[in-house]
Structure 1
Amino acid sequence: MKNELLVVIGANAAGMSAASKLRRLDTKKKILVFEKGKHPSFSACGIPYLIGGEVKSAKNLIARTPEEFLLNQNIEVKIQHEVLEIDVSKKRILILSLLDKTEFWQKYDDLLIATGTSPISPKLPGIEAKGVFAFSSLESGKSADRYIQKHQPKTAVIIGGGYIGIEMAEALLHLGMKVSLIDMAPQVMATLDPDMSEIIAAYMKKEGVDLFLGQKLESLEMDDSRTVSVVVTDKKRIKADLVILGIGVKPNSKIAEAAGIQIGAGGAIQVNKKLETSAEHIWAAGDCAESYHLVSGKEIFISLGTVANKHGQIAGINISGGKAEFPGVVGTAITKFKDLEISRTGLSEKEANQEGMDYDVALIESSVFSSYLPDSEKITVKLLSEKASGRLLGGQIVGGKGAGKRIDVIAIALQAKMTARDLVFADLAYVPPLSGVWDPVQIAARQLVK
């Protein structure tokens, strides 16, 4: 007998992508989605740009409302409903309505866990102070935005030098704040190698960000109104009217683990290529689920909206009765700080060393487009290839406008298991205002085949 009800836990990228895909394939199956927050299907990646003023309203970050999902796709979305427990044997979930504080059980035929991630918040003195924010939802982004508009902070400290930290530094500079950034690592953007990170750090300093790297956060001090006033590290005291926590995220997998569902890489839910978990009729997709890394050959925890949406597509197909498989990831990511674009894919040197790989490295500096044209900006490209076979292992790019998205060429090369020589002779486009006759990624690849 065909299963008739899909219940989805989580109404963002993976959950709604799966629900929408299933609805296109099956117009009869009932789809019921439970979301803890107040908004389904919003762009978490847009929060720094909301705070920085580039996005004029939080409403612009919401793709669809529950009413629109019901009207246009016959998908029922219940917001402010938190799932507390999964009862695998009875195929039901326990739900808490955050609206009236009542609890109830909901049966399912198929279940998709798409619970995403939560920001890592260190248990330190003062972390509960007013003026301290981490972004776990659109509401948390709106709260920070309202706080900034009301209190007009002059000094901001960002904890963490990853993607959120970099993007928030730009946003707060744009608002006229004095910005400091603290990271326990000796570099910003720890997913890049130090030689590439140094370029970013130098640019950030030039633009007015004070960097305190290799420093451990110890506490936050508050004033009499319990508002944050000072950030204390193991080396320094830094004045702060506002603190942004960008330390990282962890997968929301506790309810799955408590239900006896197998947990895998990085605490994410273990899944196969069809996004099936260890429990029958239960799938997991998005940031809460692990992914297979095509270069390392290992399962990993990776939190990216691009991956979450693709997971959702695969899960939706398979819940409808299809046999789709998720091919894997290469860890492609991109960000920017003001006019500097930053991207990476595959393995860094640190990761290649951890995998015990024997590799060659190319590091080149070139121009984003033909250098004889005015305003041609610098681009630095780093490539890694396997020493024995020449197979590309990873790439990193830092440079001016037009640099960052070149990482996509390297990402495709990694997925296709291309060698450095293959990349040298790839038929890429050329016109002087957009590229040199040899694209910078090909110049780097040429170094590897000399």
Structure 2
Amino acid sequence: MATQRVVIVGAVALGPKTACRIKRLRPDFDVVMVDQDQYISYGGCGIPYYISGDVSDLSALMSTSFHMLRTPEFFEKAKGVRVMTRTRAEAIDRERKTLRVRRLETKEDQEIPYDFLVLATGSLPNKLPIPGVDHPRVMSVSNLHDASAIKEMLSKGAVGRAVIVGAGAIGCEMAEALTDLWGVETSMVEIAPQVLPGVLDSTLARMVASHLDERGVAVYTGETVREILPGDDGESLTVRTSQRDLAADVVITAVGVRPNGFLAAHAGLLVSPRGAVVVNHRLQTSDPCIYAGGDCIEVIHRITGKPFHFPQGSLANRQGRIIGTNIAGGCATFEGSVGSFAVKIFDLAVATAGITHKTAVSEGFDAVQALVIQADRAHFYPTQDLMTLAVVVDRKTRRLLGIQGVSRNGDALVGRINAVSALLARRGTVEDLSNLEVAYTPPFAAAMDIVNALGNTAENILDGLNVTADPDDFETCFLQDAAPDVVCLDVRGPKNAEPFVKAFGDRWINIPQETLAQRLDAVPKDKRLLVVCNSGVRSYEALLQLRAAGIENAVNVQGGVAAIKKSGMIRLDEEGED
């Protein structure tokens, strides 16, 4: 292949990866990156950690692992890539194969010819369509300029109260950043009925919301922000929602992003209804000489088979390598994503892959969810902690559709989610999950690992052995409606059960599972039974015993009392015996 010029629009994640891959394979290629910002090749996902103080200096987000700043000079000297910062791409002339750019400092226009063009134009933060959103103290966290401005306000002590609009990943991360180090009184408003909408199903979302509440963040879900009113002092703000007024010194909007496909659309390239640049499996656009990747495109979801927008730095880097390979003459493909995702929220890690139960139902699957709470390593090992995992499966095909989890031991959780992510991409089944090989030693795993227990639980549900109710069902039929024909059968030890028996009287019956066979006469036959233990294991054994005795009016509450308490439904002290 003759020497070619490759022009890359965007120099944050996908752009630098593409450029470096091309130069490694074809050092003779002329590679040019243009970006309208002065900051390039930075870790945008690290912005909340810079604001929180976990990352002390902004330059750390622009450094290599060997502590060199990724400046234009670095790329030119170390990588052989030319970089034009403060240069905005204005238009693509596909017929002449040129890119018109404007140098923002001199206001001069320039045409750059290309053989191949790469669009790494990223995404744009969504803007609230409400009055007051243009106030200078209403900010997003979409780039390093935003991060620096927010950090400066915090450092000067100018922020005592903050309102975050949006309880997605960025909103939750920013709640931690503002509260933990800076002691800012933080409120979060979310239009959806839960935090992390579309990421978690309701039970695990309630666990996250409960944790936020424990750490002092006021969470208001199911509320719409209607306007932001400036105070008389010109600095304070009032956020007016559909239900309340919230005082703030700064408002941070975290209401999602949209793909930035404007440059492509104006050039006549195919874009999706959501404005994303449409690409094939080689990441070529509708013009074979133009490639695109990262946040400006949509990818195929490997569970639903439909395109979705998944802005992730890790995805952009992988796609950058594929584009670089193809431009250099190779043949690499991107098959799609299962949407693997992780976020740290105070002491809690959240990780998911695939789709939620709610999404699975809306996509036409006959979806079933299994939930397990179990120690993340041998129960006798000192650092063990409870991990919550939920898996979504299709009843007809037994195919795995999604997994989600929360845990205080984030590395342990992410390791499990990553393993199951690989099964999801290969259309794995519940049997594959039950038999997934996990490296075992007590400091890192249990002999029957939680992912295997999760697969076993899903199998038992599909086979009709384990008839379940979710914690939300427990709340609806026991706590809210208080139906007279519903009682809880607690099969834990007496010390565990005592606070609940005192709180709920004859609606909460305690018969330890190991004595149940001898005390079947004490089980009410005219009531609907919600069988509970601490995590759902002993209650499953009890369910089988009841069924063997001809008592069919019982269901096993998934996750047991542990799930109920972690969700914040009941707050009672109990002695640890179970």
TM-score (norm 2): 0.76
Output the amino acid matched with 2:153.
Y
* Cα distance per residue 1:300-337 (max 9 Å; x no partner): 21111111111101000001111111121100000011
Aligned-residue Cα RMSD (Å) equals 1.4
Q: Quote the Cα distance in structure 2 between the aligned partners of 1:256 and 1:225.
A: 44
Q: Quote the Cα distance in structure 2 between the aligned partners of 1:57 and 1:366.
A: 39
Q: Does 1:181 align with 2:188?
A: yes
- Deviation larger for 217-226 or 17-26: 217-226
**2:113 equivalent among 93, 107, 118:** 107
Which residue matches 2:470?
none
Which residue matches 1:19?
19
Q: Does 1:204 align with 2:217?
A: no
Q: Does 1:358 align with 2:375?
A: no
Q: How many residues end up aligned between the 2 structures? A: 450
Unaligned ranges ≥5, structure 1: none
Q: Does 1:5 align with 2:5?
A: yes
Q: Quote the Cα distance in structure 2 between the aligned partners of 1:328 and 1:300.
A: 10
Output the amino acid matched with 1:332.
S
Which residue matches 2:438?
428
Q: Quote the Cα distance in structure 1 between the aligned partners of 2:269 and 2:244.
A: 44
Write the mapping of 1:12-411 to structure 2, written as runs, cut at 5 A: 12-63=12-63, 64-174=70-180, 175-190=182-197, 191-264=199-272, 266-401=274-409, 402-411=412-421
- 405 and 239 in structure 1: CA distance in 2 versus 1, 3 angstrom threshold: farther
* Cα distance per residue 1:60-107 (max 9 Å; x no partner): 000311110000111011111111211212211221212122222221
Larger RCO, structure (CA 8 Å, separation 6 or more): 1
Q: Quote the Cα distance in structure 1 between the aligned partners of 2:334 and 2:354.
A: 17
Which residue matches 1:415?
425
Output the amino acid matched with 2:13.
A
Q: Quote the Cα distance in structure 2 between the aligned partners of 1:298 and 1:307.
A: 17
Asked if structure 1 preserves the Cα contact closer than 8 Å seen for 2:179 and 2:185, the reply is yes
Q: Quote the Cα distance in structure 2 between the aligned partners of 1:151 and 1:7.
A: 44
**1:447 equivalent among 442, 447, 457:** 457
Asked if structure 2 preserves the Cα contact closer than 8 Å seen for 1:130 and 1:226, the reply is no
Q: Quote the Cα distance in structure 2 between the aligned partners of 1:125 and 1:408.
A: 42
* Cα distance per residue 1:179-199 (max 9 Å; x no partner): 100000010001211111011
Output the amino acid matched with 2:451.
V
Unaligned ranges ≥5, structure 2: 64-69, 461-578
TM-score (norm 1): 0.97
Asked if structure 2 preserves the Cα contact closer than 8 Å seen for 1:267 and 1:301, the reply is no
Q: Quote the Cα distance in structure 2 between the aligned partners of 1:265 and 1:403.
A: 36
Output the amino acid matched with 2:17.
S
Superposed structure 1 runs of 4+ greater than 6 Å apart: none
Q: Quote the Cα distance in structure 1 between the aligned partners of 2:3 and 2:142.
A: 33
Asked if structure 1 preserves the Cα contact closer than 8 Å seen for 2:433 and 2:452, the reply is yes
Q: Quote the Cα distance in structure 1 between the aligned partners of 2:422 and 2:143.
A: 32
CA apart distance, 1:348: 0.7
- Aligned residues with identical type, % of pairs: 32
Output the amino acid matched with 2:274.
G
Q: Quote the Cα distance in structure 2 between the aligned partners of 1:357 and 1:243.
A: 40
* Cα distance per residue 1:112-151 (max 9 Å; x no partner): 0001111111132111223221122212211211122124
Q: Quote the Cα distance in structure 1 between the aligned partners of 2:420 and 2:71.
A: 37
- Deviation larger for 216-225 or 74-83: 216-225
Output the amino acid matched with 1:357.
F
CA apart distance, 1:3: 5.8
Q: Quote the Cα distance in structure 1 between the aligned partners of 2:317 and 2:237.
A: 40
CA apart distance, 1:360: 2.3
CA apart distance, 1:379: 1.1
Output the amino acid matched with 1:17.
K
Q: Quote the Cα distance in structure 1 between the aligned partners of 2:232 and 2:367.
A: 56
CA apart distance, 1:152: 3.1
Asked if structure 1 preserves the Cα contact closer than 8 Å seen for 2:3 and 2:30, the reply is no
Output the amino acid matched with 1:409.
A
The structure number with the bigger radius of gyration is 2
Output the amino acid matched with 1:354.
S
CA apart distance, 1:225: 5.0
Asked if structure 1 preserves the Cα contact closer than 8 Å seen for 2:195 and 2:205, the reply is yes
